[in-house]
Amino acid sequence: MKFLLDNWYLFAVALVSGGLLLWPTLRRGAQGGALSTADAVHVINREKGVLIDVSEPAEFAAGHPAGAKNVPLAQIETSNALPKNKALPLVVVCASGARATRAIGILRKAGYENARALAGGLKAWREANLPVEKSA
């Protein structure tokens, strides 16, 4: 007990550093966890996931993941391009992942509980050498 009282600051430092190490994991869990490119491909191929690109139409035309449907973030609440079956997993992507994360909140409020963002967005998709299409 004397050791604990004499070295309380060591225990405080240990608790703070442990909390900082756990923070990214806890934060990811609160967001539903962003998918890695490998996990996204697994969801698309094995679980019949739908790939939704929330980029603006001009960005989408410049390059998007192969097979993605374009539903701009501003139109996500009113779009008819989203699947009618709300139980299907959705993989949401944008250029960097920021808009996709915002879209997840909107989609979950609309009943799409299996919606998850692609970590790193289109940039991560390209870095994984996954197919990218351009619209005419």
Q: Which residues contact 84 (CB under 8 A, 6 or more apart)?
A: none
Match domain 33-133 to its CATH number in 3.40.250.10, 3.40.50.11540, 3.30.2010.30, 3.40.190.10: 3.40.250.10
Contact assessment for residue 82 and residue 70, using Cβ atoms and an 8 Å cutoff: no
The pLDDT confidence band at residue 70, using thresholds 50, 70 and 90, is very high
Which of 91, 118, 116, 121 has the alpha carbon at shortest distance from 105?
A: 116
Q: What is the pLDDT of residues 16-50, one digit of tens each?
A: 998 888 877 666 554 457 899 999 999 999 999 99
Q: Is 59 exposed, middle or buried (0-12, 13-18, 19+ CB in 10 A)?
A: middle
Pairing state between β 69-70 and 132-133: unpaired
pLDDT above 90 as % of the chain: 71
Give the pLDDT of residue 33: 72
